[in-house]
Amino acid sequence: MAGTHDRLCLGCGKCFAKPARLRRHLLSSAPCRKAWGSFRPDSASLPAMHALALPLRVPGVMSGGHAVIDPATYHKGLLETLQALDCADCDTAWGVIKDFIEPLSVLRATVDLWASTPGAAPGVAEVAEDVKLMLDPQLCCDDFRVSRANGGSVDVFEALDWRPACQLPFVLTGEVAAFSIDDPPLQGYAYPFTCSLPLAAASEFMRWLETSCDILGTFAQTSAAHPVRLRASAVALAALEPAGAWLLRAGFVQTASGLRSPGS
């Protein structure tokens, strides 16, 4: 819109701290776009404002004139060029339209406005329909990007099914071997890891997971030679699932502090 390089909205009379804030205001305010130019400030100079200040109402006069159509929905320059054509045929109209770069929805709306202009030349409506058929990316573009389809969730990892249950050959006498697993750096992140993480956080968690799995493996192997005890919080065991459930099925006993050999 003409005048958006300044800070004053000519639709409602608000003065913004920066031109960028005015443009953002117009993007979300269709009434101001339709009323653009209806406000006339009393003074040509705008008040000085802090960069973070809220918009101010500027003294002025509102004429009350509003556009019927939102100017953001069509291209004014293209419409005026089409209306000025002496010969309304499809080739001439297409030669004009292809020189304008706008979203296809804006171009189609502009062509519709051209066809509905009062006093339009005979045949304009038919030409407009033909031109709209040509406003198809498969026809008028050498290369175009298809809209990305909404992707469904994908199972990255297969389910870790429990194999036929087998009791481990526990040794229940002798010195107890103690193991310990620290709490994970992240809570609620467990197999099959369905949520996204920043690379640094994921790397830290995977280092913890590898170390913890090594400890679990040693813990299970040692149970065949000594009674064993594992200190691990409920949070840590939950992050290691389904390994914790497997160990319980294999005969380990869960305690308030972790896991242990049966009877130890």
pLDDT digits 0-9 by tens, 169-220: 899 898 999 999 999 988 877 776 777 778 888 889 889 999 999 999 999 9
**Six token digits for residue 220:** 């299970």
Mean pLDDT of the chain: 84
Six-digit token string for 98? 């292809």
Q: Among 124, 109, 118, 15, which residue's Cα sits nearest to residue 59?
A: 15
* pLDDT score of 87 more than 90: no
Structure token digits, residue 146: 């298809």
Which band of pLDDT confidence, cut at 50, 70 and 90, is reported for residue 252?
A: very high
Q: What's the pLDDT score for residue 198? A: 83
pLDDT band at residue 155 using 50, 70 and 90 as cut-offs: low
Whether the Cβ atoms of residue 162 and residue 248 lie closer than 8 Å to each other: no
Highest mean pLDDT range out of 73-82, 221-230, 240-249? 221-230
Between these two residues, 178 and 38, which has the higher pLDDT value?
A: 178
pTM for the model: 0.44
Query: What's the whole-number mean pLDDT along residues 38-51?
Result: 88
DSSP state of 99: T
Of the listed ranges 12-16, 82-86, 149-153, 243-247, the least confidently predicted one is 149-153
Burial track 144-178 (b if 16+ CB lie within 10 A, e otherwise): eeeeeeeeeeeeeeeeeeeeeeeeeebeeeeeebe
Give 125-154 pLDDT, tens digit per residue.
888 888 888 887 766 665 555 555 555 545
Q: What integer pLDDT is reported at residue 210 of this predicted model?
A: 93
- Return the higher-pLDDT residue of 42 and 151: 42
Q: What is the pLDDT confidence band of residue 230, given thresholds at 50, 70 and 90?
A: very high
pLDDT score recorded for residue 169: 87
For residue 65, pLDDT beyond 60? yes
Instruction: Identify the pLDDT of residue 101.
Output: 84
> How far, in Å, CA of 12 to CA of 118, rounded?
30
Residue 55 CB contacts under 8 Å (≥ 6 apart), including other chains: 9, 14, 15, 16, 17, 21, 25
pLDDT at 157 over 70: no
Is residue 41's pLDDT more than 70? yes
Question: What's the rounded mean pLDDT across residues 103-127?
Answer: 87
pLDDT above 70 covers what percent of the chain?
85
